Structure 1
Amino acid sequence: MTRTPLIIDCDPGVDDAVALMLAFGSSDLELLAITAVGGNVPVVKTARNARILRQIAGREDVPVFMGADRPLRREPAGAGEFHGAEGLGDMAPFEPAAPCADGHAADAIIALVMGRPAKFVALAVLGPLTNLALALRKEPALAERLGPVAVMGGARSEGGNITASAEFNFWADPDAAAEVLATGCDVVLFGLDATHQVRATTARISALEAVGTPMAEAAASMMRFSQRVEREIVGWDAPPVHDPCPVAWLLKPDLFKLKACRIAVETESDLTRGHTAVEFREAVAGEPLRHRWARDVDADGIFDLITKAVS
């Protein structure tokens, strides 16, 4: 069986935690590394959280690299109100047994991709795109060497979740998102239009809890926390589970419907910072439509993948 070589760049984060459990438990993935970035909480915590989740999953074979602690040219801005002060919801953090690997996350991405055949290594980006932007600045050839870059970020018809028009990851570092999208990377975007279709209903959380493994309990705990917080802040009974979507697409592409597009990111306006302008009309875009935008999702299929992975 051929496995997909994958790097996951993330900022755990409760939905990042679910995505990591999906990846850790999926035999179809050759997980090369986890690279941590500052986002939902500071990078020292996201790197620690990735190592905690790695330990729970029993996957200490996967190295964790610490990356950027701040956006390219902005002040860091977190989202602890949606993820808990430590980024793991109700889970009490602890110091994992295994440390971070030596070196910066951007350098690790370059080494892992450039040391393998072109288009061989996929990248799932679940937080701000700072690490990838730094890697591309240092090694521009990376854009043509990377396989698909599956990104959780952006918003169109659903509007934003941090401002009226911006999704958090792109708002947190719009300059990094704009730089990445301006390269030749094969980017597939899983914005709020798609991820808001993937909801952690009470029935779905209960089904995970019934599995009973440490991985399942961790994933269910994250969703229970999100359910409570979303009820308090937004008024939703079933919170969206954003970050598993890029990993799920790499595992089972037919769970999603994609449409070719061109995406630009607003970097100058404070009012619309991080807004994604998604253009499906090639004549209007004035250039080939080289990005792809996720529109429709089989949410039951995604939760089936998660349940299987954590079993």
Structure 2
Amino acid sequence: MPDAKPRLTVIDTDPGIDDAVGILLALASPEFSIAGMTTVAGNIGIETTTRNAGRLLAFAGQEGIPVFRGAAAPLSRPGPEPLNLHGEDGIGGVNLPEPSRQPESRTAVQWLADLLLHEPAGTVDIFALGPLTNIAKLILDRPDAARRIGRIIAMGGVIREAGNVGPRSEFNLWADPEAADVVVSSGLSLVLVPLDVTRRVRATRDFAEALRAPAKPLASMVADLVESYFETKTHQESRPLHDPCVMLFALAPELFRLKDLRLSVNTGPAEEAGALTIEESGTSVQVALGVDGPAALELLARKLTAV
């Protein structure tokens, strides 16, 4: 049987160490045809996230993939203060080349709308690795284009566990809860990969060393990224690979346990902003609630060491 045609994909991102790992995994996976990357401000500002997207493409020799600068701030509230959780450059100080191509002149939303209207409806997927501001703006400003999206797979939220920026809030949804509400309530095909799952795909120092052993460039770079991740926290034996779970789900959905949940997004004060509530009046969303963590890591390593 011939291989399936690569799926046309957009990566919406705020790199980010774990974003970088996910991006390199996508670039190493022939199952995806990356149409472009759109950037958004996240735990670091838009200029840095956009630069990092270009740096990753330059490193991977994929300069033909365009980068489009997206939202510098949330839809309607002040953006979070830069957290610098991943170092001042957003990727832990790992040595990457400078972008060899400047960001495109069109904005992320302009380009997304043009792409979606040009391609057959349902054939373009979006991997959302940061706050959902760009996708929400597309839904609000260009609903004709947004409804042509095949599927959005987004890392975000938390269902049954504690949040990472509030009692019930995860950073990506907390950073722009109004955008998260727009996307979740849109009725578009959405798979949400929350902290409940991403915390179970954990890289260790041994995993980084195993990636480095074959001396393959992408795998060695991911090893460097994982090791820089450890530098941001002391006395930890493993770190969760949040954003790569989006790509891992797209590659091997059978490794994940999905459930349809009716969700609403809290758009209230900061402490509860972005919190997800399961309620009858919510919108039906597919949510990953379980994962075979070791198998997911094995798939990540296999893809990275094959190129």
Aligned positions of 1:23-172 closer than 5 A: 23-78=26-81, 80-92=83-95, 95-172=98-175
SS at structure 2 position matched to 1:264: strand
- Aligned pair in 2 of structure 1 residues 263, 211: CA closer, same or farther (>3 Å)? farther
Q: Which moved more, 1:176-185 or 1:207-216?
A: 207-216
2:291 to 289, 297, 303: 297
Deviation at 1:263, TM superposition (A): 1.6
Residues 25-78 of structure 1: CA deviation (Å, up to 9, x unaligned): 101111111111010211111011011111111111211111111111122225
Match of 2:211 in 1: 208
Look up the SS of the partner of 2:140 in the other structure. helix
Q: How many residues align?
A: 302
State the partner residue of 2:201.
198
Shift of 1:160: 0.6
Q: Aligned partner of 1:236: which letter?
A: Q
Cα drift, residue 218 of structure 1: 1.8
Letter in 2 for 1:294: A
CA distance in 2, matches of 1:12, 1:160: 21
Equivalent positions of 1:272-287 (< 5 A) are: 272-277=272-277, 279=278, 285-286=280-281
Deviation at 1:307, TM superposition (A): 2.0
Give the secondary structure class of the aligned counterpart of 2:143. Answer: coil
Shift of 1:19: 0.2
Match in the other structure for 1:248 = 248
Q: Whose helix proportion is higher, 1 or 2?
A: 1
Indicate the RMSD between aligned Cα atoms, in angstroms: 1.6
Partner SS, residue 241 of structure 2: coil
* Closer, same or farther: CA 103–250 of 1 in aligned 2, 3 Å: same
* Cα distance in structure 2, aligned partners of 1:276 and 1:39: 19
> What is the rounded CA distance, in whole Å, between the counterparts of 1:5 and 1:140 in structure 2?
20
Structure 1 residue 221 displacement after superposition: 1.4
CA distance in 1, matches of 2:118, 2:29: 24
Aligned mates of 1:139, 1:166 — CA distance in 2: 28
| TM-score, normalised by the number of residues in structure 2 | 0.93
Give the AA of the match of 2:53. A
Q: Aligned with 2:35: secondary structure?
A: strand
Deviations 1:183-211 (A, max 9, x none): 12111100100100010112211111213
Deviation at 1:228, TM superposition (A): 2.8
Unaligned stretches of 5+ in structure 1?
A: none
Displacement of 1:117 after TM fit? 1.5
| AA of the residue aligned to 1:273 | A
- Shift in Å, 1:300: 2.4
What SS class does the counterpart of residue 194 from structure 1 fall into? Answer: helix
**Residues 129-180 of structure 1: per-residue CA shift (max 9 Å, x gap):** 0011111111113343111100000012221111222100011111100011
Residue number in structure 1 paired with 2:8: 5
CA contact (8 A) 1:35 1:65 kept: yes
Tell me which amino acid in the other structure corresponds to 2:291. Answer: V
The AA in structure 2 aligned to 1:65 is F
AA paired with 2:274? G
Q: Distance in 2 between matches of 1:223 and 1:213?
A: 15
Q: Aligned pair in 2 of structure 1 residues 87, 296: CA closer, same or farther (>3 Å)?
A: same
User: C-alpha deviations, 1:74-97, integer Å up to 9, x for none?
Assistant: 222255442111101021465321
Distance 1:79 1:292 in 2: 31
Shift of 1:238: 0.5
2: CA distance between counterparts of 1:111 and 1:307?
35
SS at match of 1:165: coil
Contact 1:24 1:309 in 2 (8 A): no
Amino acid at match of 1:86: D
Residues 78/189 of structure 1: CA separation in 2 closer, same or farther (3 Å cut): farther
Contact (CA 8 Å) 2:116, 2:146: kept in 1 or not? no
Q: Does 1:265 align with 2:265?
A: yes
